[in-house]
Amino acid sequence: MTVKGNETLYRAIRDAVMEEIKAHNIELVQEKDQFIPVSVSARHIHLEQKHADFLFGKGYTFTKHRDISQPGQYSCVEQVTIKGPKSKMDRIRVVAPLRKQTQIEISRTDAIKLGVNPPVRHSGDLKGSAPLTVIGPKGKIELEEGCIIADRHIHMSPADASRYGVENHQKVKIEVDGEKGGMMYGVTVRISDRYALDMHIDTDDANAFGIKGQEYLKLIK
């Protein structure tokens, strides 16, 4: 068998093992090779109550589409349109539950299409972020701020953090294998007893590294 053939076989075996690990909730713990599950976060919006009322009608109840990786959070059936100076984008899914301040998360590619320049920020850090127009079935709102590009980050429980040997807000590196493999720098660790272990990247990062979601990636401190 050729070297290339050996590499292909190795990757196939590794991917099959990782699928079994995820399917059976087996925790993979190694001193040198520590792997993190990854999810791809597409463009979406979190709404505060008054904006939800204005866009969908007062007292409107959102319908769950599916659960997402963090406990108690879910994407909704309901969607909105966002509009910037250059263009608009339809079918932006609402993520629940409601928050204290409306937040829109998009990729850099989305931002270029819309004609806005959002900063790369932690979730909830919205001061001075980009303005956007949001259009719902019942109304329209003009946000003076609220649009960001979410930073690369890993959600962890305190127990996870202890196991991986990292601290809250620590910056780590993530190694990606495969045909478009490479290193992701500046990945923020976020620790809370409300979190489930998962790394979140946007669609630009996923496309750049050939990631589909649900892979396991190597954490390097």
In the prediction, which pLDDT does 221 show? 87
Q: What is the residue-level pLDDT of the chain in tens, covering all 221 positions?
A: 544 455 566 466 666 766 665 565 554 444 445 999 999 999 999 999 999 999 999 999 999 999 999 999 999 999 999 999 999 999 999 999 999 999 999 999 999 999 999 999 999 999 999 999 999 999 999 999 999 999 999 999 999 999 999 999 999 999 999 999 999 999 999 999 999 999 999 999 999 999 999 899 999 98
Q: Answer for the pair 27, 156: CB distance below 8 angstroms, yes or no.
A: no
In the prediction, which pLDDT does 142 show? 98
pTM of the predicted structure, to 2 decimals:
0.83
Distances (CA, A) of 25 to 18, 19, 214: 10, 10, 13
Domain residue ranges in the chain:
18-40+152-220, 42-150
In the prediction, which pLDDT does 30 show? 47
Q: What is the CATH number assigned to the segment(s) 18-40+152-220?
A: 2.40.40.20
β-strands 182-191, 153-156: how paired? Answer: parallel
In the prediction, which pLDDT does 175 show? 97
